Amino acid sequence: MANDGNLVELRNVTKIYQQGEINVTALNNISLGIQSGEFLTLMGPSGSGKSTLLHLIAGIDRPTKGECRVQGVDVSRLSESALADWRNQNVGFVFQTFNLIPVLTASENVELPLLLTHLDRRRRRKQVETALELVGLADRANHLPRQLSGGQEQRVAIARAIVADPRLIVADEPTGNLDAQ
């Protein structure tokens, strides 16, 4: 597969999880190219490897075999530290379970990825406000997750994913708790 401007390129990727004495193959020899600017939707039954694929693309997990390149970087070969830096600078991830910190406000949860940047407090706050406005939650910025509906929590997770203006947004069931509006 040639890299014809692909933002994401997987070559012969396999992911095997070990559960006790049993090996579970979540992905088997997957090759895929995603162009910059392309929107891609993965559909399939539970347990078919969708979340695993998203975690590999975002550098949250590593393939058992194969190559996973994002923006030309083989993320599967980066050290843990380099991978964390790369992920923070390049990827926004919307988790299926939100992964909000219960003791932090919506604003503080959205700000978390920015704490690893060189932005000053004023600039971080401005980006957080903008992200919360984009998802319609500016008025809920000071609320804790337990004070929000499931849909509002999901929108906080989306705001957190977009706050640093990443080149790649990976979303695992990003609309599951949202209402029609």
Q: What local confidence, expressed as pLDDT, does residue 2 receive?
A: 47
Q: Is 120 exposed, middle or buried (0-12, 13-18, 19+ CB in 10 A)?
A: exposed
Per-domain boundaries in the chain: 6-77, 94-171
Q: What local confidence, expressed as pLDDT, does residue 1 receive?
A: 45
Query: Can you say how many angstroms the Cα of residue 71 is from the centroid of all Cα atoms in its chain?
Result: 15
What dihedral do alpha carbons 2, 43, 16, 91 form, nearest 10°? 60
The string of DSSP letters for 31-84 reads EEEEETT--------TTSSHHHHHHHHTTSS--SEEEEEETTEEGGGS-HHHHH
Listed in sequence order, the residues at least 6 apart from 49 whose beta carbon sits closer than 8 Å to its beta carbon are 15, 26, 27
Ordered mean pLDDT values, 10 residues apiece, the chain (181 residues): 74 94 95 90 89 92 94 90 88 88 97 91 96 97 95 94 92 70 63
Q: pTM higher than 0.95 for the full model?
A: no
CATH of range 6-77; options 1.10.150.120, 2.40.50.100, 3.90.650.10, 3.40.50.300: 3.40.50.300
